[in-house]
Copies of this chain bind each other. A is one copy, B any other.
Amino acid sequence: MNVAFLGLGAIGAPMAGHLAAPPFALTVWNRTRERALRFVETHRGARVADTAAEAVRGAEFVITCVPSSREVEALVDGELLDAIPAGALFIDCTSGDPATSRHLAERLAERGIGFVDAPVSGGVIGAEKGTLTVMVGGDAALLDRARPVLAAFGEKIVHCGAIGAGDALKAVNNALLAVHLWSTAEGLAVLERAGVRADIALDVINTSSGRSNASMNLFPERVLTRAFPRTFRLALLDKDVGIGADLARQQKVPAPILQLTAELFRMAHATLGEEADHVEAARIVEQWAAVTIGGPRPSADAPTGVSPNNELEQEL
Given A121-B204, A245-B249, A248-B190, A209-B257 contact (CB < 8 Å): no
Q: State whether the Cβ of A212 lies closer than 8 Å to any Cβ in chain B.
A: yes
Contact B260 A262 (CB under 8 A): no
Which of B158, B205, B287, B315 touches A200 (beta carbons < 8 Å)?
Answer: B158
Q: Nearest Cβ in chain B — how far from A197, in angstroms?
A: 7
Residues of B within 8 A of A255 (CB): 186-187, 189-190, 263, 285
Which of B190, B260, B263 touches A251 (beta carbons < 8 Å)?
Answer: B190
Contact B254 A194 (CB under 8 A): no
Residues of B within 8 A of A203 (CB): 158
| Category for how many chain A residues contact B | 35 or more
Copies in the complex: 4
Contact B176 A210 (CB under 8 A): yes
**Residues of chain A in range 204-249 having any CB-CB distance to chain B below 8 Å:** 204-205, 207-213, 215, 242, 244-249
Residues of B within 8 A of A256 (CB): 186, 256, 260, 263-264
Residues of B within 8 A of A172 (CB): 187-188, 190-191, 201, 205, 210
Residues of B within 8 A of A114 (CB): none
Majority DSSP secondary structure for residues of A touching B? helix
Contact B290 A270 (CB under 8 A): yes
Binds B, one of A55-63, A142-150, A163-171: A163-171
Q: Nearest Cβ in chain B — how far from A181, in angstroms?
A: 9
Residues of B within 8 A of A183 (CB): 175-176, 179-180, 257-258, 261
Q: Which residues of A does B touch, CB under 8 Å?
A: 98, 121-122, 133, 135, 156, 158-162, 164-165, 168-169, 172-177, 179-180, 182-184, 186-191, 193-197, 200-201, 203-205, 207-213, 215, 242, 244-249, 251-264, 266-267, 270-271, 285, 287-291, 315-316
Selected A-B contacts with CB under 8 Å, 20 pairs: A135-B204, A158-B203, A161-B194, A161-B195, A161-B196, A165-B196, A169-B191, A173-B208, A174-B209, A174-B210, A176-B212, A183-B258, A183-B261, A186-B253, A187-B258, A189-B255, A193-B252, A193-B253, A211-B212, A246-B249
